[in-house]
Amino acid sequence: MCTGCDKAEWNRPVLDALHEFVDYISLHFYSGTEGRPMEDAYRDIDSFAGTVREVSELLATYPERPTDFNPWYRFSPRKGPIRIAVDEWNVWNVKDDKTYGLVCDYKWTDTLWVAKMLTFLITTPAIGLANLAQLVNVLAPIRADAEGARFQPIAYPLMWYRRLVKGTLVEAETSLPLSICAVHAEDYTVVALVNHYEEEMTVGLEEEFSAAVILTESGSRTLRNAFREITIPRESVAFLVLGKCNLPVNE
């Protein structure tokens, strides 16, 4: 892996020198949500998507596999195309204190930002891996102290995307301003929808879905009846299931 950034004048000479060896070029992405409108934080994701597109276009100028690799190196070249590793990303409200804002108390709006970011990462083919920074106490979905460990709000989209949004990415679209992604596993398809707006939205479906999980600030609830239309509550994340999937009970 080589270190990249949002500047082509850095990325190109690095890749010119290392493209035969590296599997990934890394990008970091943080957004702050405190003291600014959330729409600005959501637009940060759109801005980062532009950076990813630019890096993807640069990567396309290099061969998928090196052809004239010097045997002097005594190891093999990379085996496939170079992809992007978003090896640090999260909400980071930088502060002028002794922790620089690294010890965060996350809110539900941060949860929606994380869900939108997960949707972007899943639906972007150029991204080969992504790592949340970090896991415990520092910019963390989990806080631990002498009294024990507990989830912060941003842990919940991470947990539910891991449970349900796994399989092969399939095409999905909606005319509503929702973040959307869909994956197909062996026996079922899951569509994930993020509604970060302050009003509910009703989604019509081309097929009859069998169940849904809805995440809101007050908790999660599971719907197990068939439907072809569903209302996505304000400021929520919804997972719609088509087929047979063992859903957890309400938590």
pLDDT tens by residue, 125-167: 999 999 999 888 888 899 998 999 999 999 999 999 999 999 9
Can you give the pLDDT at residue 154?
95
Q: 43 φ, ψ to 5°?
A: -65, -25
Can you give the pLDDT at residue 68?
80
Q: Give 136's DSSP letter.
A: B
Asked if 21 contacts 77 with a C-beta cutoff of 8 angstroms, the reply is yes
Can you give the pLDDT at residue 248?
60
Asked if 54 contacts 27 with a C-beta cutoff of 8 angstroms, the reply is no
Q: How confident is the model at residue 187 (pLDDT cuts 50, 70, 90)?
A: confident
What pLDDT, in 10s, does the model give residues 73-84?
Answer: 777 888 899 999
The percent of residues in the chain predicted with pLDDT above 70, rounded, is 98
H or E element, residue 14? helix 8-18
Task: Determine the 3-state secondary structure of 109 from DSSP.
Answer: helix
Alpha helix segments (H runs only) across 60-201: 108-122, 155-164
Q: Domains of the chain (ranges plus CATH)?
A: 1-164 (3.20.20.80), 166-251 (2.60.40.1180)
Residues 6+ apart with CB under 8 A from 159: 151
Can you give the pLDDT at residue 196?
96
Tell me the C-alpha distance between 23 and 203, whole Å.
40
Position with higher pLDDT, 26 vs 72? 26
Q: How confident is the model at residue 34 (pLDDT cuts 50, 70, 90)?
A: confident
Tell me the C-alpha distance between 202 and 176, whole Å.
9
Tell me the C-alpha distance between 16 and 10, whole Å.
10
What pLDDT, in 10s, does the model give residues 42-53?
Answer: 999 999 999 999
Asked if 141 contacts 107 with a C-beta cutoff of 8 angstroms, the reply is no
The percent of residues in the chain predicted with pLDDT above 90, rounded, is 70
What pLDDT, in 10s, does the model give residues 211-251?
Answer: 999 999 999 999 888 899 999 999 999 999 998 777 665 44
Q: How confident is the model at residue 71 (pLDDT cuts 50, 70, 90)?
A: confident
H or E element, residue 142? strand 142-145
Q: Give 137's DSSP letter.
A: S
Q: Which two tokens stand for residue 27?
A: 């990008």
Tell me the C-alpha distance between 183 and 171, whole Å.
8
- What's the full length of the chain, in residues? 251
Asked if 14 contacts 37 with a C-beta cutoff of 8 angstroms, the reply is no
Can you give the pLDDT at residue 115?
97
Tell me the C-alpha distance between 213 and 220, whole Å.
7
Tell me the C-alpha distance between 44 and 90, whole Å.
12
